[in-house]
Amino acid sequence: MGRRPADGDRRRPPGGCARTRLTTTEGEGSDDAPALPARRRALAAGLALALAGSAALVAGPAAAEDDAPSLRARYHFTVPDHWMNDPQRPVVIDGVLHYYYLYNADYDANPRANFGTEWRLATSADGVAFADQGVAAPKGTNANYDLWSGSAVVDHAGTAGFGPGAVVMLVTQMDHPTAAQKLDASGQQAQFLWYSVDGGRTFRPDGDEPVIPGDGRRDFRDPKVVWDDERQRWVALIAERDRVSFYTSPDLHRWTRTGEYVNAGIGTIECPDLFRLRADDGTTHWVMGVSANGYATNEPATYAYWTGSFDGSTFVPDVAAPQWLDHGFDWYGAVTWEDPAAPLERRLAIAWMNNWDYAHGAPTWPRDGFTGTDSITREIRLARAGAGYSLLSAPVDALQDHATHTTALGDVRVDGFTELAYRGDAYEITTRISRQDADNVGFQLRRSADGSRHADAGLTRDYAYLNRAQTGRPDSWKVESRTPLDDADTVELRILVDRTTIEVFVGDGRYTHSSQVFAPSGDQGLALYTSGGPAVFRDLRITEFADLAHVPRASSRTSRATRGARGGRPPAPSPGSVRRRAICAGRRARAWPTRSPGRTPRPASSRRRPSRSTGTRCTS
């Protein structure tokens, strides 16, 4: 995906969830409530609540406005400055995750004056804490102006001719655009080859001519390259509005079109994906995913996927209708990559938490000078579900290595409304909700002192939901997302709250909700509610994390990747530097094993847990 928003049906959804206004507080007193960090406490002297044999806190008088007005996420990845959109699939080099994303240093919140994107790089030891490395593939370097989405691969065998271990990217650019086409991104889309011989830190174009020409196609972008181990060749998936085309190549230069998958019912298809996973029953399946728009059929506009078969030339789904990896409003342009410790058992995923309907309206731009926040990195697995298979999601395990404080409230019984004396704007909630007689049960998140503003995450008898209608949010009709619930008496919820985002993982993770919430900085309250009867929030925990706010290590225009690029191509680094480069983060924490065509992956039993992070940034 480049700078053009996806098409979509703007119809309003059915009316929001009808929930009873909750006004009562019930419970019994206690004096042994667990302490919270001072910056989070809002205790009323002498007030506490004993709940189901454990302790909880009852809110006192409204606390003063928070003293940290920044809206930058504490533990989610954010662009250091200006603009970010599509994630690019990371690659693992020398044990370190290299995460690229589309970046625009010329962004000024005016969509008509944004002069193109380039690839910026952040490195990570665990997929949670990132270190900025500046621009890796600068725009204006060749005749094709800016860089859109694509994918990078580590060419261990040197099939492309740039040497073993070179990092090669196939990326969408406009084919020799005119000055006018540069301004409105209307030039012919085509696929171009760029390469790096310094371990993925800096890229240069392999000439100005495309390796896969657009041949008049209006939408022809977002190539995703994978290695077909069975046939010993490269495969590229390219999004073409209502279809995904398949190409194969022996060397990343010469490509042959081999097939296509067509689906005209999910809007403009972007950012395709293809991988294999072993399900929980031991069977192995191909999965194809795309970013798409399902609003015309009352489905999400996130990541659609199908299980099916791949014969090396095209993909055939098991069933026509897609499943969706997220049902919120802000989980788009997602990329997945194999967990090197268990490449067939699980994958990792990250997405852009924004929506083209309101992409330029985030309050982080006027407040903090940036627009662009990603989801938490999640782990995905494949599991049997009825007659088919579904992907299950959970926050990556490494997130817990950045935990700084956990408040365990035990089992909390609520019959009506209970406000906790916890205040915060960045935390995780985990609980198992025993619904008992309740028709509706959930959390009021980012609650204002007077209770007039809050976002709600909860369960009815029929569905789970995330509702942002009663607090600051994007200017859109997209206020409540829903997913079906079975009739289980107990449902697990895991909720990640950060300064401008909420992510809800329901049950086993088959259904998730990820959406932006623009609550005022001072709205940091938390409450529990039920209607229709009582419910028990079992093993309720609130966890806080270290401040991992992603700030630049250097100006985007003076970073190592861009020095010298304004006058032409960046200087070619020495090929020998690929193996000599040592990145401190990868040496101190989790070692991501590499995998190449023909190389046996490291067994799952060798997976190392990362050490607890101190929040220290890695510099090179």
Q: Which positions are annotated as active-site residues?
A: 86
Backbone angle region of 199, left / alpha / beta, with phi > 0 → left and psi within -120 to 50 → alpha: left
Measured CA to CA, the distance from residue 45 to residue 131 in angstroms comes to 43
Residue 403: which of 126, 117, 15 has the closest Cα? 126
Residue 152: which of 284, 335, 325 has the closest Cα? 335
Measured CA to CA, the distance from residue 396 to residue 347 in angstroms comes to 10
Residue 389: which of 377, 401, 381 has the closest Cα? 381
Q: If you compute the radius of gyration of the chain from its CA atoms, what whole number of angstroms results?
A: 24
Measured CA to CA, the distance from residue 85 to residue 415 in angstroms comes to 43
Contact 150, 211 (CB under 8 A): no
* Burial of 176: CB neighbours in 10 Å, binned 0-12, 13-18, 19+: middle
Sign of CA pseudo-dihedral 406, 412, 416, 420 = negative
Six-digit token string for 153: 């691969």
Measured CA to CA, the distance from residue 476 to residue 224 in angstroms comes to 31
Sign of CA pseudo-dihedral 344, 261, 190, 257 = positive
Contact 250, 225 (CB under 8 A): no
As a dihedral over the C-alpha atoms of residue 82, residue 83, residue 88, residue 94, rounded to 10 degrees, the angle is 10
The distance of Cα 212 from the centroid of its chain, to the nearest Å, equals: 29
Tokens 């042959």 sit on residue:
256
Measured CA to CA, the distance from residue 350 to residue 353 in angstroms comes to 9
Find all residues with CB under 8 Å of 375, minimum gap 6, and list them. 76, 331, 334, 350, 351, 352, 353, 501, 503, 514
Measured CA to CA, the distance from residue 132 to residue 399 in angstroms comes to 19
Q: Which amino acid is at 461?
A: R
At CA 371, angle to CA 349 and CA 82, rounded to 5? 115
Tokens 């035990």 sit on residue:
410
Residue 336: which of 325, 326, 347 has the closest Cα? 347
Six-digit token string for 417: 């409304």
Q: Which amino acid is at 528?
A: L
Find all residues with CB under 8 Å of 138, minimum gap 6, and list them. 118, 561, 562, 565, 570
Six-digit token string for 508: 């086993």
CA distances from 593 to 89, 129, 339, 341 (A): 16, 18, 9, 7
Measured CA to CA, the distance from residue 509 to residue 374 in angstroms comes to 19
CA distances from 287 to 70, 315, 389, 411 (A): 39, 9, 10, 39
